[in-house]
Amino acid sequence: MGAPHARPSIPSSSSPTSPHHHTTTHTHARLRFPPPTRGGEGGELGFFGAGMARRGRVQLRRIEDKASRQVRFSKRRAGLFKKAFELALLCDAEVALLVFSPAGKLYEYSSSSIEGTYDRYQQFAGARRDLNEGSTSINSDENASIHSRLRDISAWSLQNNADESDANQLEKLEKLLTNTLRDTKSKKMLAKQNGEGSRSRANSSGSRGQEEGSA
């Protein structure tokens, strides 16, 4: 057997004026962590093991373990509600948030009230639907004309084998499509002009009525 290793001595310095007072200097080792690697549950970052991700985009995926998924849901839900509160407070925004847990439990947050925000949303959505329906009714004749032209093009293609590389047939089809597009653009411009003319006439009529009333 070899001689036992001697225990390393700790360097110390003594004050010459006070022999009983000792000052001990310790050397601290600097910890070095291994570089992070990709993997782990839910694409989380860490220092040890394979449950870490390298620099770059973290891949998000469903957490398979039910208990871990519930814990992660609770943490993320709390963070989401905190952000919603900060958005409403800092920006004076009306915020409503509804969250259903994987088990079907409802969590909600509202800067005012869920019902009031929902009613406001319904009014906004209804106004948007009315605008879209009005635009659709104005262009209904135009859509019918386009559908009729498309049916003619389809019938012509079947009768004349437009899939064949025949220059004359392709030229006829191109002219038919060009005419359809030109007619569509003309109708759009005409509808726009008619709408602007109606608004200008309504404004002028209102101005004349105000002038006559003031006279």
- 116's CB contacts (< 8 A; 6+ apart) are 110
Domain extent at residue 97: 67-138
Asked if residue 150 belongs to a domain, the reply is yes
Residue 125: inside a domain: yes
Closest CA to 73 of 50, 101, 51: 101
Q: Answer whether residue 155 is part of any domain.
A: yes
159/118 same-domain check = no
Average confidence (pLDDT) over 93-122: 89
Could you tell me if residue 147 is inside a domain?
yes
Q: Are residues 120 and 167 both part of a single domain?
A: no
Mean pLDDT of 10-29: 45
Same domain for 129 and 80?
yes
Of the candidates 109, 138, 167, which is a domain's last residue?
138
196 falls in which pLDDT band (50, 70, 90)?
low
- 101 touches 93 (CB < 8 A): no
User: Is residue 48 one of the residues assigned to a domain?
Assistant: no
Task: Encode pLDDT of 86-103 as tens digits.
Answer: 999 999 999 999 999 988
Q: What's the pLDDT tens digit per position in 46-99?
A: 444 444 455 677 788 899 999 999 999 999 999 999 999 999 999 999 999 999
Structural domain contains residue 180: yes
Token output for 191: 């509808």
Helix, strand, or coil here: 40? coil
In a domain, 214, yes or no: no
Q: Are residues 127 and 188 in the same domain?
A: no
Whole-prediction pTM = 0.36
pLDDT the model gives residue 26: 43
Q: What is the pLDDT of residues 130-181, one digit of tens each?
A: 655 555 555 566 666 666 666 666 666 666 555 555 556 656 666 676 777 7
Q: How many domains does the chain have?
A: 2
